[in-house]
């Protein structure tokens, strides 16, 4: 069974600093991987997804993530944090035969300080 681990339930970054959110997955086959963002009092919104094309995936709002099969990782980065990046971020995985079912990580709350 697939599972997703997000390291760090809370991350605090200074405005302008690098944002790095870690995600590791366990899957018997290379999965499809997603990052979602949840702003306060809102639903989840897709940031980016990896579907076995390029290993470096660019998403919205300046975020990108790199799929590393050898490390079973899909870490999310943004070179320069903005105050509007304060939100909760979820890594999710699905497999080829999952037909729409996702396994989510526990989430990482990002706080951006001036």
Partner 1 sequence: EAQVTQNPRYLITVTGKKLTVTCSQNMNHEYMSWYRQDPGLGLRQIYYSMNVEVTDKGDVPEGYKVSRKEKRNFPLILESPSPNQTSLYFCASSLFGQGNTEAFFGQGTRLTVV
Residues 5-24 touching partner 1, rule: CB under 8 A, are 6, 9
Nearer to partner 1, 22 or 49 (CB): 49
Residue recorded with tokens 């037909």? 99
Residues 19-58 touching partner 1, rule: CB under 8 A, are 31-32, 34, 36, 41-46, 49, 51-52
What value does the CA radius of gyration of the chain take, rounded to a whole number of Å? 13
Q: Which residues are 68's β-sheet partners?
A: 73
CA-closest candidate to residue 112, choices 85, 79, 80, 78: 85
Query: What is the strand order of the sheet 73-78 is part of?
Result: 3-7, 19-26, 73-78, 64-68, 56-58
Shortest Å distance, C-beta 64 to partner 1? 17
Draw the binding track, 78-107, toward partner 1 (x: CB under 8 A; -: no contact): ------------x---xxxxxxxxx-xxxx
Residues at the site binding partner 1, with contacts judged by CB under 8 A: 4, 6, 9, 31-32, 34, 36, 41-46, 49, 51-52, 90, 94-102, 104-107
């Amino acid at each position: 069974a697939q599972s997703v681990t997000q390291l760090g339930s809370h991350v605090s970054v200074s405005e302008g600093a690098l944002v790095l959110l870690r995600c590791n997955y366990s899957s018997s086959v290379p999965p499809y991987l997603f990052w979602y963002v949840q702003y306060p009092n809102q639903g989840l919104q897709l940031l980016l997804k990896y579907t076995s094309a390029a290993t470096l995936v660019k998403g919205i709002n300046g975020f990108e993530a790199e799929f590393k099969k050898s490390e079973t990782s899909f870490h999310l980065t943004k070179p320069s944090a903005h105050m509007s990046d304060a939100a909760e971020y979820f890594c999710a995985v699905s497999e080829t035969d999952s037909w729409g079912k996702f396994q989510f990580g526990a989430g990482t709350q990002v706080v951006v300080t001036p």
